[in-house]
Amino acid sequence: MKSNYRLLGDYIRKVNNRNNPIISEDLRGLSMNKEFRKSTSNIVGTDLSKYKLVHKNQFACDFMSVIRVHKLPVVLHTEVEPVIVSPAYITFEVIDQKQLLPEYLMMWFRRSEFDRYADFRCDSAIRGGFKWDELCEVELPVPSLEKQQEIVDDYNTVQDRIRINGELNTALEETAQALYKHWFVDFEFPISLCHTEPVEVRLEDDVNVENIDHSKGYKSSGGAMVYNEELDQEIPVGWEVVSFLDELNINGGGTPKTTNPNFWDGAIPFFTPKDVSKSFFTVNVEKYLTQEGLDNCSSKLYKKNTIFITARGTVGAISMSGRDMAMNQSCYAFIDKDNLQFYGHQLAKFAIDNLKRQAVGAVFSALVTKDFESTMILKPSLTVKLKFNDLLEPIYSNILNAQIENIKHRELSDLLLSKMATVLDHKEL
């Protein structure tokens, strides 16, 4: 054992608090990201007194899954209110928090190298498995309490930034969607646009141009509407109902031979349905092509801001390329005919949501060109579309920026975690 390393077994002890009398009904599971999640188990009629209580600063872990998932699901409970977990899990706590900070220990558990270690130690039992003995044999550096606190604080600063960026992005994405609905579903785009192009957008005859309330949108201000039979609703005069493919050009993808190593592990991102992120953009992907690989497949190199819609496997997920990338054959790539991609992205989201809603009950198994062909959408006047795209541009660029920043911050977090292994040998931290 390295001189600055200590045996974890000297710092922790098992606890076994049963929920008897019943204190908590808040049953949690352990996620692969080492967080608690709301349990999906049905607890109606279950005797909750058998479950294990986890108090603040205590840990819950699942030894049995290690061999299967190649990591140790372990979670530190940080809230004041206790929660309950399955009695199959082991719960434990730090014996003396003046010696070892639970949050510091949790950081040690978050390291991917710790998971690799846990998996490595899984060769003892019949079905393999990590056990209490193995956990106690874990070795880790235990610096002074102040140092531990400092390490935890640095880590949390970065984590907070990641969280803030994430929340900000959610808010910005909702903003973009709210704007789209306001303009193209409720038809409340700014009335000022009418003045610039009176030919396309005009007011109802009985509205006096002088009396327009500029704080209101087109429809509320008396913009001219006409009944459309196809959509069975009123639409602004001058707008048309067209096919989805009249607004957006559709393109396909392809995969070069997977057995040829010269085609893979290059610098060109290769988008597949797996890479769809929760945010608007996809920046990092699992697989990368070489130029030779790109030349030997039927995918083009799609520019940044191309709209990808997944058609097989995961069906109907939408993502925008955060940088130039190629794409496999399970997706379609879309480019707006006026090259107004942010507008196009919102339109696609809206159209796909509609498609999915109509498919309720039926299995939404795959999307083909015909599905897009037969999807009818409302084509606005070019001015409105152009203005909308301009408005969205800074929002989208902010979202992309925060996504990239978070990728970097996650690398920084990993680095801070890795750094723990050498904490006493250097003075950087």
Partner 1 sequence: MAKKKQVKEKSIEESLWQSANKLRGSVESAEYKHVVLGLIFLKFASDKFEVRRAQLIEEGKEKYLEMAAFYNEKNVFFLEPSSRWSYIIDNAKQDDIAIKIDTALHQIEKANPSLKGALPDNYFSRLQLDKSKLGALLDTINKIDTQKDEATDIVGRVYEYFLSKFALAEGKGKGEFYTPKSIVNLIAEMIEPYEGIIYDPACGSGGMFVQSIKFIENHNGNKKNISIYGQEYTNTTYKLAKMNLAIRGIAGNLGAVAADTFARDQHPDLKADYIMANPPFNQKDWRAENELTDDPRWQGYETPPKSNANYAWILNMVAKLSDQGVAGFILANGALSGGGEEYKIRKKLIENNLVEAIVILPRAMFYTTDISVTLWIINKNKKAHTRKIGDVERQYRFRENEVLFMDLRQRGIPFEKKFIQFSDENITEITDTYHNWQQVDGNYKDVPEFCASVTNKEIEKKDFSLVPSKYIEFVNRDEQVDYHDKMAELQTTVKSLMQEKAQNDTALAAVFKKMGYEI
119 contacts 65 by C-beta, under 8 angstroms:
no
Nearer to partner 1, 345 or 379 (CB): 345
113, 160, 204, 230: residue in contact with partner 1 (rule CB under 8 A)? 113
Residue range at the interface with partner 1 (CB under 8 A); choices 146-154, 193-201, 255-263, 410-418 = 410-418
Nearer to partner 1, 54 or 423 (CB): 423
Other beta carbons within 10 Å of 121: 19
Q: Is 160 in the site for partner 1 (CB under 8 A)?
A: no
Give, to the nearest 10 degrees, the angle between helix 382-419 and helix 102-110.
110
Q: Is 120 in the site for partner 1 (CB under 8 A)?
A: yes
The strand pairing partners of 84, in sequence order, are: 27, 53
Residue range at the interface with partner 1 (CB under 8 A); choices 116-124, 194-202, 246-254, 375-383 = 116-124
Nearer to partner 1, 98 or 214 (CB): 214
Task: Give residues 187-216 in contact with partner 1 (rule: CB under 8 A).
Answer: 215
1, 126, 362, 363: residue in contact with partner 1 (rule CB under 8 A)? 126
399 contacts 168 by C-beta, under 8 angstroms:
no
Give, to the nearest 10 degrees, the angle between helix 102-110 and helix 145-184.
70
Residue range at the interface with partner 1 (CB under 8 A); choices 15-23, 85-93, 148-156, 391-399 = 391-399
How is residue 8 annotated by DSSP?
Answer: G
67, 207, 237, 241: residue in contact with partner 1 (rule CB under 8 A)? 67
User: How far are the Cα atoms of 229, 247, 376 from residue 240, in angstroms, in the given order?
Assistant: 11, 11, 10
Smallest gap from Cβ 415 to partner 1, in A, equals: 6
23, 48, 412, 424: residue in contact with partner 1 (rule CB under 8 A)? 412
Smallest gap from Cβ 372 to partner 1, in A, equals: 30
The strand pairing partners of 6, in sequence order, are: 140
- Antiparallel, parallel or unpaired: β 52-54 and 12-15: unpaired
- Say which residues have a Cβ less than 8 Å from residue 362's Cβ, sequence separation at least 6: none
Smallest gap from Cβ 231 to partner 1, in A, equals: 27
Residue range at the interface with partner 1 (CB under 8 A); choices 249-257, 284-292, 304-312, 419-427 = 419-427
9, 128, 238, 252: residue in contact with partner 1 (rule CB under 8 A)? 128
User: How far are the Cα atoms of 30, 174, 213 from residue 34, in angstroms, in the given order?
Assistant: 6, 28, 54
| Helix, strand, coil shares, percent, the chain, to 5 | 35, 20, 40
Q: Is 127 in the site for partner 1 (CB under 8 A)?
A: yes
Nearer to partner 1, 179 or 241 (CB): 179
Strands (E), 8-89: 12-15, 28-30, 36-38, 52-54, 58-61, 74-76, 83-85
For the chain, give the longest Cα–Cα distance: 88
Smallest gap from Cβ 176 to partner 1, in A, equals: 10
Chain residues that interact with partner 1, rule: CB under 8 A: 67, 111, 113, 116-117, 120-128, 172, 179, 215, 391, 394-395, 397-398, 401-402, 404-405, 408-409, 411-412, 415, 417-422, 426, 428
